[in-house]
């Protein structure tokens, strides 16, 4: 899921200065932590309280969208509740903020959050950590299911480097060396010979180097043109 963090209230309040009716839009999609109805309501209450304490009269409303990153869903959910709204705070990732900006013509849309990365949730540890860099060319089959692009500080394809010490990365003593993890996992799977294969120079054209990435949407696997 997409990991986000809430912006400080003060920063959000600075966007909203001068606005009178504010809609807080939660997102039930893949935000982590999830920012659904409850979070939208909490922020609405906080904005209202903070405004009143500053002597400003502000009206807030709140709702949530199943996923803000779908323009049709976002438009159909939000356009009926936009009456009189002169500012929107999106509790989605950066994608949702942009989609709302596209579909809501009459009011500015402000980000309620910072978008951090794509990651997994480790419930026991109480952490979320980066797992995928969306490079567009998945090599997890060769790296025992551990991504060196996202998890090696240098995104090395042939690791580890000299900065790997006692299984940790030189960048941060708390950080596991991704290539140590790959090595250990391959060993456990009896596939250590994989380490001997030299991976070719990465083709970054499938990543952000080719400009804004876009692709025709397949509705499902069966939509794909068959190869045979």
Partner 1 sequence: MDFPIDIHADDCGECRICPAACPYEAIEIDTERNVAVLDQEKCMICGICAPACPIDAIDTYYYDPNALKGYLESKMTDGADTLVIYCRGSAPSDEELVEMVGVEEFIPMAIPCIGRMPLDTYMDAVNMGIERIFVIACEENFCRFTEGAETNTTKMLTAQMMLEDIGYPEDTVTLLRNTLVAEVDRDACIGCGNCFALCPFDAVTMESPGISNIDPEKCRGCGICVPYCTGMAIELKKSEYEPLSKKVEAEVERTEPKLVVFGCQWSEFRLLDNIYEEHLPEDIGFIELPCSGRIDPLHVLEAFKNGAEGVLIVACPEDLCRLEEGSKHAHRRAESLKALLEEAGIDPERLQLTEATPRIIGSFANALEHFKQNMKELGTAKKVEEGTG
Closest distance to partner 1 from the beta carbon of 26 (Å): 8
Half-sphere exposure of 15 (CA within 13 A, CB side): 20
Q: Binding string to partner 1 for residues 3 to 32, with x set by CB under 8 A, is what?
A: -----xxx---------------x-x----
* Torsion on CA atoms 214, 215, 220, 223, rounded to nearest 10: 160
| Helix, coil or strand: residue 23 | strand
Q: Candidates 39-47, 97-105, 108-116, 195-203 — which segment interacts with partner 1 by CB under 8 A? A: 39-47
Q: Does 119 bind partner 1 (CB under 8 A)?
A: no
Which residue, 124, 128, 117, 56, is CA-closest to 87?
Answer: 56
Pairwise CA distance, residues 28 & 34, whole Å: 7
Determine whether 57 is exposed, middle or buried from the number of CB atoms within 10 Å of its CB (0-12, 13-18, 19+).
exposed
Q: Does 59 bind partner 1 (CB under 8 A)?
A: no
Q: Does 39 bind partner 1 (CB under 8 A)?
A: yes
| Residue choice 50, 156, 161, 175 for contact with partner 1 (CB under 8 A) | 50
Q: Binding string to partner 1 for residues 122 to 161, with x set by CB under 8 A, is what?
A: -x--------------------------------------
Cis peptide before 217 (omega within 30 of 0): no
The residue among 43 and 169 lying less far from partner 1, judged by its C-beta, is: 43
Q: What is the sign of the dihedral through the CA atoms of 32, 35, 39 and 44? A: positive
Pairwise CA distance, residues 71 & 40, whole Å: 19
Q: Does 34 bind partner 1 (CB under 8 A)?
A: yes
Q: Does 81 bind partner 1 (CB under 8 A)?
A: no
Q: Give me the phi and psi of 74, to 5 degrees please.
A: -60, -45
The residue among 23 and 40 lying less far from partner 1, judged by its C-beta, is: 40
Q: Does 35 bind partner 1 (CB under 8 A)?
A: yes
| Residue choice 2, 4, 23, 64 for contact with partner 1 (CB under 8 A) | 64
- Contact residues toward partner 1 (CB under 8 A) are 8-10, 26, 28, 33-39, 41-42, 45-46, 48-50, 52-55, 64, 66, 123
């Amino acid at each position: 899921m997409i990991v986000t963090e809430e912006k400080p209230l003060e920063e959000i309040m600075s966007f909203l200065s001068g606005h009178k009716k504010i809609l807080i839009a939660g997102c039930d999609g893949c935000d982590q932590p999830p920012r659904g109805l409850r979070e939208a309501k909490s922020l609405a209450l906080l904005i209202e309280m903070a405004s009143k304490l500053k002597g400003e009269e502000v009206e807030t409303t709140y709702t949530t969208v199943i996923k803000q990153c779908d323009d049709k869903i976002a438009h159909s959910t939000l356009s009926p509740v936009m009456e009189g709204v002169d500012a929107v705070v999106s509790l989605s990732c950066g994608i949702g903020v942009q989609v709302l900006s596209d579909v809501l013509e009459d009011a500015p849309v402000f980000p309620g959050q910072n978008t951090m990365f794509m990651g997994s949730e480790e419930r026991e540890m109480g952490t979320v950590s980066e797992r995928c860099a969306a490079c567009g060319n998945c090599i997890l089959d060769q790296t025992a299911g551990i991504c060196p692009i996202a998890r090696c500080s240098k995104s090395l394809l042939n690791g580890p480097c000299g900065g790997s010490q006692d299984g940790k990365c030189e960048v941060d003593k708390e950080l596991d060396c991704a290539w140590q993890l790959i090595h250990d996992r391959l060993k456990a799977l009896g596939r250590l010979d994989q380490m001997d294969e030299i991976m070719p120079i990465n083709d970054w054209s499938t990543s952000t180097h080719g400009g804004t990435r876009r692709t025709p949407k397949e509705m499902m696997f069966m939509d794909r043109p068959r190869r045979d």
